[in-house]
Amino acid sequence: MDRRELFSSLFSSKSKEKKEIVVRPPYYIDNDSFLKECVECDGICSTFCEEKIIVIQEDKTPKIDFTLGGCTYCDACAVNCPHEVLKVEYKKNIEQTIEIDILKCMSWHGTMCFSCKDPCLDDAIEFLGIFKPSIIEDKCTSCGFCISVCPAQAIVIKD
């Protein structure tokens, strides 16, 4: 392999592609049931979402879009799911982990910013002094309220 091939393979668009993380409403037991049952539905769960963060994808399955806000775990989507893919009995915390990218975070670079801490319903974001926020994993419910308010888009979802 010559130098040109090496650099083109390192910087090709394939290496930069990111797999989209689909965040589901926190009321399901089996991920496959979305593909089996939701195709028969008109996205009713999204119409009952109080925060309007459930969007229906092209494959007719629901996902949470944290750029629109966060989940209050209000149960409305589960209570109104006609195919019982979402059920209140299956309620759990959202399974994805939320992290702060310290390279993007303004506070980690000396700008006083509390945008992520203020909307956190679980008091799961702590600051070292007035800078350097971090997420306390055992307090965080992955509700996502911190994501849409971050001015630097430094809060990311990990699968």
Residue with tokens 């650099």: 7
Please give the span between the terminal C-alpha atoms of the chain, in angstroms, as a whole number: 34
State the pLDDT at residue 158.
Answer: 86
Do 82 and 106 fall into the same domain?
no
Give the domain extent around 146. 97-158
Do 76 and 132 fall into the same domain?
no
State which of 90, 105, 133 marks the end of a domain.
Answer: 90
Inform me whether the pLDDT recorded for 26 exceeds 60: yes
- Give the strand pairing for 62-64 and 54-56: antiparallel
State the pLDDT at residue 17.
Answer: 55
The 10s digit of each residue's pLDDT in 91-121 is 999 999 999 999 999 999 999 999 999 999 9
User: What is the spatial distance between Cα 101 and Cα 108, in angstroms, rounded to a whole number?
Assistant: 9
Are the C-beta atoms of residues 44 and 77 closer than 8 Å to each other?
Answer: no
State the pLDDT at residue 111.
Answer: 94
134 - beta bridge partners? Answer: 126
User: What is the spatial distance between Cα 76 and Cα 44, in angstroms, rounded to a whole number?
Assistant: 10
Q: Which residue has the higher pLDDT, 1 or 104?
A: 104
Do 109 and 153 fall into the same domain?
yes
What is the largest distance, in Å, between two alpha-carbon atoms of the chain?
A: 60
User: What is the spatial distance between Cα 11 and Cα 15, in angstroms, rounded to a whole number?
Assistant: 7
Asked whether residue 14 is domain-assigned, the answer is no
Neighbours of 101 (CB within 10 A): 13
State the pLDDT at residue 15.
Answer: 44
State which of 90, 106, 127 marks the end of a domain.
Answer: 90
State the pLDDT at residue 40.
Answer: 87
Q: Mapping DSSP to helix (H, G, I), strand (E, B) and coil, where does residue 85 land?
A: coil
State the pLDDT at residue 130.
Answer: 85
* Number of structural domains the chain divides into: 2
User: What is the spatial distance between Cα 140 and Cα 144, in angstroms, rounded to a whole number?
Assistant: 9
Residue 20: pLDDT band with limits 50, 70, 90: confident
The 10s digit of each residue's pLDDT in 28-85 is 999 899 999 998 888 999 999 999 999 999 999 999 999 999 999 999 999 999 999 9
